[in-house]
Structure 1
């Protein structure tokens, strides 16, 4: 069996919930997601299901060029695992996705962390709890209960390799389609000026 890589995405979206969590953690990044490809096309976590309603949350497949991620800052790390571990993690995520209507966001669990209380709730996860649960398919990755795991605990996992740090909309490995390109050009203040060929044909200077 060969080796495979998974990718762990840490983000700061600037949402009020992120800022509230930051008051306790004193850390920059308070949302974490798991991806199975370098382009971050297959990126999963627990978060809001509707961009403008933080109270409706659960298992989500995230798109890094949409919603709150448009203006997010991030750090992306790769983690090398065996092909068997990769397949086990992916199968577990696929189970979450197939049963996503049963899962909800674990708001209560966030407060339990403050009191260091290992709260076990059925079918309820917050982002770092979910990622820790998936990573536990590889033994001895995290030395604490996923119910108490914070994004910083995941960032401290040994053998993580930094892939990228900066604005998420500038992530260099993402797939650029026409819609994504338009979004990037709108967001970046250093946008180039794009011309059509007929602009030059009709120019009196050509």
Structure 2
């Protein structure tokens, strides 16, 4: 069994997410990363406090808590990409770095417009969810088809080398996997 990293592409139901869904006409408008299939640790750039879209920065997301605990129905697709042990180690180091230095990072609010208009604009220490995921992939040596600052959540649905392992409701996947671990 090899090492994997997981992309979780989801639609939470928040007002901004519903607006982006209307604007982009895409089924999913958020992407997170996880280093394990149980999704015990998911990371992304997103709101820090559930009731408010801002402030937002690098955050650990937990199914059933925060924004992910606000909605019973979170449509998602989960993709798995095979990585080498060295790439997995690099992934873990980058996640640790972001976690330890999250106060220097911010949500790339202006970058949302740049992504929407397909304008490459890299802002230091500032990401939207999809830019963060693409940035991590690039830094661990996974080839990107375009600049990380141009990635949208929908791009991860066709990411080279990624296999769809689940399509459905996030809570169902998470709690079913968790139940299997403890039975």
TM-score (norm 1): 0.80
CA distance in 2, matches of 1:140, 1:39: 22
Q: Deviations over 1:12-63 (max 9, x none)?
A: 1011111222223211111000000111011100000000000210000000
CA distance in 2, matches of 1:128, 1:19: 17
Task: State the 4+ residue runs in structure 1 displaced beyond 4 angstroms.
Answer: none
1:121 pairs, out of 120, 123, 128, with: 123
2:92 pairs, out of 81, 86, 90, with: 90
Partner of 1:18: 17
Give the superposition deviation at 1:138: 4.2
Partner of 1:65: 64
Q: Secondary structure, in 3 states, of the residue corresponding to 2:45?
A: strand
CA distance in 2, matches of 1:15, 1:22: 10
Partner of 2:39: 40
Q: Is the 8 A contact 1:34 1:45 kept in 2?
A: yes
Partner of 1:191: none
Q: List alignment gaps of at least 5 residues for structure 1.
A: 178-206
CA distance in 2, matches of 1:167, 1:87: 30
Q: List alignment gaps of at least 5 residues for structure 2.
A: none
TM-score (norm 2): 0.89
CA distance in 2, matches of 1:40, 1:78: 12
Q: How many residues align?
A: 176
CA distance in 2, matches of 1:114, 1:76: 23
Q: Deviations over 1:155-204 (max 9, x none)?
A: 21122122222111111323689xxxxxxxxxxxxxxxxxxxxxxxxxxx
Greater Cα radius of gyration, structure 1 or 2: 1
CA distance in 2, matches of 1:175, 1:52: 29
1:102 and 1:175, CA in 2 relative to 1: closer, same or farther beyond 3 A?
farther
Q: Secondary structure, in 3 states, of the residue corresponding to 2:159?
A: coil
1:141 and 1:175, CA in 2 relative to 1: closer, same or farther beyond 3 A?
farther
Q: Deviations over 1:116-139 (max 9, x none)?
A: 211121211100000000011344
